[in-house]
Amino acid sequence: MITIALSKGRIFTETMPILKAAGIECSENPESSRKLVFNTNKENIQIIIVRASDVPTYVECGGADIGIAGKDVLDEYMGVGIYYPLDLNIGKCKMMVACKKDFNYLDAMKNKKRLKVATKYTNAASEFFAKKGIHIDLIKLYGSMELAPIVGLADIIVDLVSSGKTLAANNLIPVEEVSSITSRLIVNKASLKLNNKLLKPMIKKFSQSVS
């Protein structure tokens, strides 16, 4: 049995056509169900639904054989038992620095001011500002980062920006790109060896459907 770990939300709708192109169809729509385990049209393939940030944990620890996760999540996870064979080129967005309109980010960078940074992506933010020689105080949040500058919890945030609507709705502006984000196929290294006959053709089909 091959188990595929997916998460609902941002990436999910773009994932289904890729699975379909590989001949895999879910027995029901996970987006309209509270179930966490789903059969597929293939008797030896099942899909599990986990939180986006938990996908690499399930794959590395063998709870799933393969999974799909954003580069944002994978960069924070930094696992060693995972093989990253394919950029699926879906879930495209940017990781950005953003702040209130009246915050002078350029001046802060130029004068190497110490900054309070609220983010879910503490590794990415640390690395980004360390390279610039900027000292930061990290405030780890798990969501709704946009609130932090509004209530004075932080000077700036590091968050994903797709349409830009969430920033705009909260009177924030993007000021610098940290990285480009897409979603990747990830595979448990041991499973790739053990289930090579099933996984290798599946990965090949996924790669053929990537634009």
Inter-helix orientation angle 196-208/12-21, to 10°: 110
Q: Does 161 bind ligand PRP (CB under 6 A)?
A: yes
| The only residue of 166, 170, 207, 209 in contact with ligand PRP, by rule CB under 6 A | 166
Q: Does 66 bind ligand PRP (CB under 6 A)?
A: no
Q: Does 159 bind ligand PRP (CB under 6 A)?
A: yes
CB of 176 to ligand PRP, least distance (A): 15
If the CB atoms of residues 1 and 168 are measured against ligand PRP, the closer one turns out to be 168
Q: How many CB atoms lie within 10 A of CB 109?
A: 17
| The only residue of 34, 101, 110, 165 in contact with ligand PRP, by rule CB under 6 A | 165
Footprint on residues 127-146 left by ligand PRP (CB under 6 A): 143
Backbone angles phi, psi at 68, to 5 degrees: -125, 125
If the CB atoms of residues 71 and 203 are measured against ligand PRP, the closer one turns out to be 71
d(CA 105, CA 176): 9
β-pair partners for 80: none
| The only residue of 11, 160, 181, 199 in contact with ligand PRP, by rule CB under 6 A | 160
Q: Does 74 bind ligand PRP (CB under 6 A)?
A: no
Q: Does 72 bind ligand PRP (CB under 6 A)?
A: no
Footprint on residues 36-65 left by ligand PRP (CB under 6 A): none
What are the distances in angstroms from CA 1 to CA 39, 51, 66?
11, 22, 12
Q: Does 162 bind ligand PRP (CB under 6 A)?
A: yes
d(CA 111, CA 94): 26
Positions in the binding site for ligand PRP (CB under 6 A):
9-10, 143, 159-166
